[in-house]
C-alpha cells in the first residue's frame, strides 16, 4: 500500500509539472531546477550568476527553504526578483508549490527562472516541477564518493557544478574523481568545476545559461 501511495503521489505531481512546463513554454522561459545538499553553495552561485547576467537576461528566482527568507533577501539584493517558499519541514519542492510561487511572478518579463530547491541530495531529484533542466551543485568538501552514494541526483541532472575548488588544498577530495564517478552514472552530464568565492570556472556556466536561454527563445 505504501508503494502504491508513493507512486500515485509522483504521478499526480508529474501531471502538475507538465502543466507548469506548458506555462513556461508559452512564455519561452528557460527554467532551471537547482539542487544540492545544504551548504554546497547554491545561493552563492545564484548571487554570482545574477550579478554577471542581469544586464543580458531578466532573471527570476523561486527560493525553497524549510524556514526563513534569508536566501530570497540575498537574491533580491543581487538584483533579481525572488519569491520565497517555506516548506515547514518538507525536504523538497513539488510542482504544486512551484505553481503557487510562479503565480506571483510576471513570467512574460523573464528570460530565465531558477528554482532553488531545498538542500537535500535525495528527494528533490524525484520530483519534477516543470523545469527544462535539473542542475546540481556539489561542494568539493562533500567528498568524491557522493555520486556513488546518491546516484539518482547525478542521473537526473543535466549539469553538475563542482563548487569550492578553492578548498582543494584543505580537503582530500579530487574533482577528477568526482567527474569520473558522475560520468559513470550519467555519461551525458555537463560538468563545470567552479569556485563561487574566486570566480574560477564560472564563465563557462554563464555561457551554458546564455545558450540555453537562446534556444528557448528560438
Please give the CATH topology (third level) of the domain spanning 2-217: Rossmann fold (3.40.50)
Nearest to 91 by CA among 133, 126, 131: 126
Q: What is the pTM of this model?
A: 0.93
192-218 per-position pLDDT tens digit: 999 999 999 999 999 999 999 999 987
User: How far apart are alpha carbons 8 and 170 in whole angstroms?
Assistant: 45
Nearest to 196 by CA among 171, 170, 161: 161
Task: Write the DSSP symbol of residue 119.
Answer: S
User: How far apart are alpha carbons 115 and 73 in whole angstroms?
Assistant: 15
**How distant is the alpha carbon of residue 149 from its chain centre?**
19
Q: Partners of 182 in the beta sheet?
A: none
86-130 per-position pLDDT tens digit: 998 889 999 999 999 999 999 999 999 999 999 999 999 999 999
User: How far apart are alpha carbons 92 and 150 in whole angstroms?
Assistant: 15
The owner of cell 557544478 is 161
User: How far apart are alpha carbons 33 and 47 in whole angstroms?
Assistant: 16
Amino acid at each position: 500500500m505504501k508503494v502504491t501511495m508513493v507512486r500515485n503521489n509522483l504521478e499526480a505531481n508529474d501531471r502538475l509539472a507538465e502543466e507548469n512546463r506548458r506555462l513556461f513554454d508559452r512564455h519561452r522561459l528557460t527554467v532551471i531546477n537547482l539542487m544540492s545538499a545544504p551548504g554546497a553553495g547554491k545561493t552563492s552561485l545564484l548571487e554570482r550568476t545574477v550579478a554577471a547576467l542581469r544586464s543580458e537576461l531578466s532573471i527570476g528566482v523561486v527560493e525553497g527553504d524549510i524556514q526563513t527568507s534569508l536566501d530570497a533577501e540575498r537574491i533580491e539584493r543581487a538584483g533579481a526578483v525572488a519569491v520565497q517558499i517555506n516548506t515547514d519541514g518538507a525536504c523538497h519542492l513539488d510542482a504544486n508549490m512551484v505553481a503557487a510561487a510562479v503565480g506571483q511572478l510576471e513570467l512574460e518579463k523573464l528570460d530565465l527562472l531558477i528554482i532553488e530547491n531545498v538542500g537535500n541530495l535525495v528527494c528533490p531529484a524525484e520530483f519534477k516541477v516543470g523545469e527544462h533542466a535539473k542542475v546540481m551543485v556539489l561542494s568539493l568538501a562533500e567528498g568524491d564518493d557522493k555520486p556513488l552514494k546518491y546516484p539518482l541526483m547525478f542521473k537526473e541532472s543535466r549539469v553538475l557544478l563542482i563548487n569550492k575548488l578553492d578548498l582543494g588544498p584543505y580537503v582530500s577530495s579530487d574533482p577528477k574523481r568526482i567527474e569520473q564517478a558522475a560520468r559513470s552514472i550519467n555519461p551525458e552530464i555537463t560538468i563545470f568545476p567552479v569556485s563561487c568565492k574566486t570566480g574560477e570556472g564560472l564563465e563557462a556556466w554563464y555561457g551554458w545559461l546564455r545558450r540555453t536561454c537562446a534556444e528557448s527563445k528560438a
